[in-house]
Structure 1
Amino acid sequence: MAATRSLRPVRIWLLIVALMVAVMVLVGGATRLTESGLSITEWKPVTGTLPPLSREAWEAEFAKYKEIPQYQQINRGMSLDEFKTIFFWEWGHRLLGRVIGFVFLLPLIFFWWRGYLSRSLAPKLAVLFVLGGLQGAVGWWMVASGLVDRVSVAPYRLAVHLTFAFFLFAAIIWVVRSLSPAKGERVPAGVRRGAFAVMIIAFVQVFLGAIVAGLDAGMTFTTWPLMDGHFIPGLDSLTAMEPAWRNLFENPMTSQFVHRMTAYLLLIAAILHAFQARGTAAGKSAIVLAGLVTLQAVLGILTLVHLVPIPLALAHQLGALFVIGHGTGHVWKVSARP
């Protein structure tokens, strides 16, 4: 295996990739908030790298957009310049994905060729690269859901796409942490289970948040702590759709209510875990995690009551990245053997 000190360039490279993935998530959030995600109606992994370079090319791209329901029902009459604005958000999002692929692949080949990577590390990184490519396909699967019968992407596909991005971000952080020797004492099994529980709830909350975003549910019930005048809305409203499971994905009230309740659960779990971990080697890390979850809850409330302004919405998404990023490192800390 390569010497520990020789892995420093690998750690720096992976941290850069993780940062780029975080930026990708935020750009994706801005693309959704500006309703730009359907402006490019084709998936061209190679030829789509360049934007239209002539007036004729722009007109042709605009003509394709005019054929989808979003233009016909929401943006009819949009000018070419207005189309260019939303086009560049989506194009920038896709371009950043391509850049991340190259930033990952080229150093991976170099480090593998120069012997920096151990037999156990190299396959993990190769799998991450494949998963990154799969994320691009998932992104197109999401976009395709809004090109025929809808004016926006399907919320559950948006949730899969966003949660997958957070998973990739966490996986890179985990690999980075695994390249450094574990320090401190082994923590009790109960603390390890608590850390895993907090992270499982956090990932579920990311998924649920994407459902809320996909339904624009944050625009419908904008008071806190009451929702439509009640802490718990009526069951008839929460289960208005048949079959009942559709309410989670298609009922704005239900999706926001479940997102709120899961936020409370996550906050309670994080605080209890911080108390549970006090006096152990993971105590300070657990306190930081509880603090980040608390801050994220505050950002969520502010985003809601201010009718989801883009800066606050993106800050809320950034807060989720901090929770998942630190939480992943925390889980590794309590799991690794010193």
Structure 2
Amino acid sequence: MIDPPKPLPRLRSPPRRCHSVIAFHGSTKFVELGPRFFSSKSGGTGVGTSPLPVLAPPAVGQWLLVSSALVFAVIVVGGVTRLTESGLSITEWRPVTGILPPRSVEDWNAEFDKYKATPEFKLMNHSITLEEFKNIFYMEWGHRILGRVIGIAFIAPLAYFAFRKKLSPSMPAKLTGMASLIGFQGVLGWYMVKSGLEDSIMDTPGGVPRVSQYRLAAHLGTALVLYGGMLGTGLAVIQDWKYARSGAWSGSKTVSWETVLSNPIIKSFTRKSRALTALVFLTALSGAFVAGLDAGLLYNEFPLMGGSIAPPMDELFSPAYAKAADGSDTWWRNIFENPTTVQFDHRLLAMTTYVSTCLLYFHSRRNAVRSLLPPTARRSMAAAFLMANVQVMLGLATLLYLVPVPVAAAHQAGSVALLSSMISTLVALRRPSVAAQLWRKAKIVAP
């Protein structure tokens, strides 16, 4: 008896695939998405699609870098405004009508009359001429106009990119926060200037008409936060795009970011880089107190202060600065209001920042660390080391030569450049965004 033929085994059909049409720099790219992008709950055929999240194009990163450059410029211009005693020349805050400077002789005389009513004119500049007034007026006016330019240059492209859906999922909230910070900066700037226009200065023995060092530090600190956010986000956008497009991460196509970032040596290096970035920020912020109190005009020598490493203790913590009846606020008021203590603290922070930067740089040159660090991180640390040395020379020149305006402005710019190098280091050590990882896994490549 012949057995009946066995039925042939059923062949499983290959997994169905879906082609997604992706707009890529104005071109259309058909990308085959594998089963990992399908949903098991899709109806009918059992196959669905999970769309890729938006990945911000390089244009977004370039716009953020340009915006950060404008903020860098306004920080430097603001420093020059403070150094030239120009910040109190405009006595009103008119966000719209203040865009245009005075154009007629009558307008200039009216503006000059307003300045004549200020404590600064009465105590310091009572012999100033109209032409000299115009010089300080234009300096402050230029600073304010640059702030308005930043607002327009940031908000208009932000609206465009949001409308065209060019922003990655995490970016709208972050960029909206930056836009709000720009508006807050304008309010904070006027709040700072207003502190130098108060008539109570006239009744203070030995009073000097200048803005509050607390408000000046807040104004600078907010600008540095805004700058760091724009720069870091812009660099991250460009880095994510390069990774999604070619697999290059922080300047290398052969390095696996998972392997690098999971290494204990790199984890430790990243923590130290974050701590150093915070120290650079704190040192720059302490410089605002030095500028606000004109503390750079004291003890114009280095490394000694009056023949010793530190001034006498009764000068560092003078009871004259206490306002509480029991003197309980002596220590902190001296730290923030005593020019001698403020300069001493800034020296300590600056030297600590310099030594820390050098140590971290030389640590990055060790074979065990250097072999793991991606190229961009190594270059950024080298830039930080270079800027730290430049900053030391600029700081010493500013101190020894009694705060010349060009050198002091370069010193402030150098602090922002050093901060930029550390931010670049941190961005180089970040993992690609989720959107960049998904695009890379889908092998989306620009045509």
**Residues 76, 413 of structure 2: 8 Å contact kept:** yes
1:48: which partner in 2?
98
Q: Percent identity?
A: 41
Instruction: Give unpaired runs (5+ residues) of structure 1.
Output: none
Structure 2 residue 291 is matched with structure 1 residue 213: yes
The equivalent of 1:307 in structure 2 is 402
Match of 1:204 in 2: 282
Query: Among 259, 276, 288, which residue is 2:346 paired with?
Result: 259
Residue by residue, what CA displacement relative to the aligned partner does 1:25-47 show, whole Å, maximum 9, x if unpaired? 11111111110000111111111
Task: State the partner residue of 2:174.
Answer: 124
Specify the code of the residue in structure 1 equivalent to 2:399. Answer: L
Question: In structure 1, what is the equivalent of residue 113 of structure 2?
Answer: 63
2:355 equivalent to 1:268 = yes
**Partner SS state of residue 207, structure 1:** helix
Q: Which of residues 235, 243, 248 in structure 2 aligns to 1:177?
A: 235
The answer to whether the Cα contact below 8 Å between 1:191 and 1:334 also exists between their aligned partners in 2 is no
Residue 316 (str. 1) matches residue 430 (str. 2): no
Q: Counterpart of 1:221 in structure 2: which amino acid? A: Y
TM-score (structure 1 length as normaliser): 0.95
Q: Secondary structure at the match of 1:244?
A: helix
Moved more, 192-201 or 284-293: 284-293
Q: Partner amino acid for 2:68?
A: A
One-letter identity of the residue aligned with 2:217: A
Offset from partner CA, 1:132-175 (integer Å, 9 cap, x none): 11111111111011001340101121111111111111110111
Match of 2:14 in 1: none
Structure 1 segment 70-149 matched on structure 2, within 5 A: 70-148=120-198, 149=200
- Counterpart contact for 2:391–2:414, Cα < 8 Å: yes
SS of corresponding position for 2:71: helix
| Shift of residue 317, structure 1, vs aligned partner | 1.1
Paired residue total: 336
1:235 aligns with 2:344: no
Query: Cα distance, 1:257 vs. partner?
Result: 0.5
**Structure 2 Cα separation of the partners of residues 194 and 335 of structure 1:** 14
Q: 2:276–2:357: 8 Å Cα contact kept in structure 1?
A: yes
Q: What corresponds to 1:293 in structure 2? A: 388
* Structure 1 Cα separation of the partners of residues 131 and 54 of structure 2: 54
Q: CA deviation at 1:3?
A: 4.7
**What is the match of residue 304 of structure 2?**
226
Distance 1:76 1:9 in 2: 51
SS of residue matched to 2:124: helix
AA partner of residue 297 (structure 1): V
Q: Whole-Å Cα distance in 2 between the matches of residues 106 and 285 of structure 1?
A: 31
1:244 aligns with 2:294: no
Say if 2:280 and 2:353, in contact at 8 Å, map to a contact too: yes
Are the equivalent residues in 2 in contact too, given 1:24–1:96 (CA < 8 A)?
A: yes
Range moving further from structure 2, 277-286 or 319-328:
277-286
Residue 34 in structure 1 maps to residue 121 in structure 2: no
**Which is greater in Rg?**
2
Give unmatched runs, 5+ long, in structure 2: 1-52, 202-208, 241-248, 323-329, 438-447
Say whether 1:154 aligns with 2:241. no
Opposite residue 253 of structure 1, the aligned amino acid is T
- 1:286, CA displacement in angstroms? 2.4
What amino acid is the match of 1:256? Q
After TM superposition, the structure 1 stretch with the greater mean CA deviation from structure 2, 182-191 or 118-127, is: 182-191
Distance 2:337 2:409 in 1: 23
Contact 1:155 1:210 in 2 (8 A): yes
Q: Could you list the per-position Cα deviations for residues 59-111 of structure 1 after superposition, in whole angstroms to 9, with x for gaps in the alignment?
A: 11111111111111000121111111111100110011001111111111111
- 1:103-133 residue CA offsets vs partner (Å, 9 max, x unmatched): 1111111111122112321221111111111
